[in-house]
Amino acid sequence: MHIHILGICGTFMGGIAVLAKAAGHKVTGCDANVYPPMSTQLIAQGVTLIEGFDPSQTALNPDIYVIGNVVSRGNPLMEEILNRGYPYISGPQWLAENVLQGKWVLAVAGTHGKTTTSSMLAWILEYAGLAPGFLIGGVPQNFAVSARLPQAPTQDSKSISPFFVIEADEYDTAFFDKRSKFVHYRPRTAVLNNLEYDHADIFEDLAAIEKQFHHLVRTVPQAGLVVSNGKEASLQRVIDKGCWTPVEKFGSDSDWQAVNPQSDGSFDVTFAGQLQGHVAWDLLGEHNRMNALASIAAARHVGVSVEVAIEALTEFKNVKRRMEIRGVVNGVTVYDDFAHHPTAIATTIAGLRSKIGKTSDAVSNGARILAVLEPRSNTMKLGVMKNALPESLAEADLVFCYGANLGWDATQALAPIKHKASVYEDLEAMVAAIASVAKAGDYVLAMSNGGFGGVHQKILDALQEKVSLKVL
């Protein structure tokens, strides 16, 4: 089959392209901007990429067009497809019908932590010898790819793994299917990591998102398992709407708990009050402990012992752009993180703070957190969450906000922390300001759900130039 993918350079649609190519299909695709790293990965897979959405692409004569949710009415290629009556399908539906059918799907949903938890879960199953397939909205460093088909567990095995781990997004499917993507996946094991208000561009309020999560819960069979965050009242409301599947909860006062957390990131795991083992790793923060509990519980459902799951997590290497160290110059460490929702910003900073110590101690020791923020997501650009930003940044010592192209006044929004926050319309000016105040022992934490104009390398270069000037 020849499929032509519209919006191919997004992480999800690019993952579908990789899976389709591995399954033996001919794959071509287009996007508004075709650039690395996704373009490089796809070309390496033998996928032909076309820049733009020119209607002439219909001359490729594919068997079907797979439509990403970046495509809307008015797109010239989409209009040509509609006018000519050519067959088309959404990415999630194509995935469900051509890859997930007949598989034991483990779906990880939630406002935060989907990518990290999916990566943990896929790695646990891989470590246990189950050779799962997966499609994840990031690059798990244990695999170095974001998507693959299920594999044969051993070289001599004649059977392919039945397991597939997928990051289950609540964002809408396509312009012609406004249901959440995850309703297509029909998981046997469903993880509900957390649930807050987000995606203000398509959801009116939290109740609207809860309704979509309940649609997901309704698809999980009685023989399946729902793994739910026991601390989230929103998820309890979802379950209370009707659940026909066993539920295991994680978090404080739940079935699965993380206890005795240590400053090095390690902690103990208990289930039903009984000690199960000790996770020794260097990931930071309560949010990662919760992610770990969810992945352990989900893996146990497919037969992986808690002991093996804990062993796997000691070798988990996290995901690119999740507290990823991009470099160190003259004692200043520059981190990259995907955080963009106020809750994610707060938990990311809190995790780093737990590593370097309390604010007062950190400042006296010369170690500070310099938070560098780009409010880039659709929700943030709309300004829906702007009033929550000051509190989310409370544990940072200095705040640098890139305020270009916003529909609201970032300086006004950050007024409650104006003593430590500054807003810049020019990226280069912001980089220069960061480099001028950074000193040995500081941690620069850049947070955005986009490329942030390459700010991480710009900061490292500016810090290196500062060192060179001192030498001269």
Tell whether 367 and 388 lie within a shared domain. Answer: yes
- Dist. CA 325–CA 314, nearest whole Å: 19
Single out the residue of 291, 414, 406 nearest to residue 344, CA to CA.
Answer: 291
- Average pLDDT taken over every residue of the chain: 90
Sheet architecture: strand order including 398-402: 324-329, 332-337, 443-447, 369-373, 398-402, 421-424
Q: Is residue 94 part of a domain?
A: no
Strands (DSSP E) found in 354-458: 369-373, 398-402, 421-424, 443-447
Same-domain check for residues 337 and 455: yes
108 and 11, same structural domain? no
| CATH number for the domain harbouring residue 116 | 3.40.1190.10
Nearest alpha-carbon partner for 171 in 117, 227, 109, 231: 109
Predicted pLDDT at 470: 60
Is the per-residue pLDDT at 197 higher than 80?
no
The answer to whether residue 429 sits within a structural domain is: yes
> Does residue 308 sit in the same domain as residue 346?
no
> For residues 89 and 64, is the Cβ–Cβ distance under 8 A?
yes
pLDDT tens for each residue of 145-163: 889 999 998 777 779 999 9
pLDDT at 360: 46
Q: What is the pLDDT of residues 70-118, one digit of tens each?
A: 999 999 999 999 999 999 999 999 999 999 999 999 999 998 889 999 9
Please determine, for residue 364, whether its predicted confidence score (pLDDT) is greater than 70.
no
Q: Are residues 83 and 15 in the same domain?
A: yes
Task: Please report which confidence band the pLDDT of residue 469 belongs to, taking 50, 70 and 90 as the band edges.
Answer: low
Confidence grade of residue 121 (pLDDT, cut at 50, 70, 90): very high
- Judge whether residue 283 has pLDDT over 90: no
Judge if 123 and 160 occupy the same domain. Answer: yes
Provide the number of structural domains found in the chain. 3
12 lies in some domain: yes
Distance from chain centroid for Cα 196? 15
**Inside any domain, residue 95:** no
Would 200 be classed as within a structural domain?
A: yes
261 — phi, psi (to 5°)? -65, 140
CATH number, domain of 447, equals: 3.90.190.20
Q: Is the pLDDT of residue 188 over 90?
A: yes
The answer to whether position 96 is within a domain reads no
Q: In terms of pTM, does the model score above 0.85?
A: no
pLDDT of residue 153: 87
Count of other CB atoms within 10 angstroms of residue 453: 16
Instruction: Among 59, 89, 119, give the residue marking a domain's end.
Output: 89
Q: Are 174 and 71 in contact (CB under 8 A)?
A: yes
Question: Looking at the structure, do residues 148 and 272 belong to the same domain, yes or no?
Answer: yes
- Which CA distances in Å does 243 have to 184, 215, 230? 18, 10, 15
The arithmetic mean of pLDDT across residues 238-254, rounded, is 95
Residue 28 in any domain: the answer is yes
431 has pLDDT over 80: yes
Among residues 40, 59, 89, which one ends one of the domains?
89
Domain region containing 422:
324-471
Q: Return the SS3 of 432.
A: helix
Peptide bond into 37 cis (omega under 30): yes
358, 437: one domain: yes
195 and 111, same domain (yes or no): yes
The domain boundary residue, chosen from 32, 67, 89: 89
Residue 144 falls inside a structural domain? yes
Could you write out the three-class secondary structure of 103-170?
Answer: CEEEEEECCCCHHHHHHHHHHHHHHCCCCCEEECCCCECCCCCCEECCCCCCCCCCCCCCEEEEEECC
**Radius of gyration over every alpha carbon of the chain, rounded to an integer in angstroms:** 23
Same domain, 107 and 231: yes
Regarding whether 369 and 249 lie in a shared domain, the answer is no
Shared domain check, 367 and 418: yes
Query: Could you read off the pLDDT of 299-326 as tens digits, one per residue?
Result: 999 999 999 999 999 999 877 677 788 9
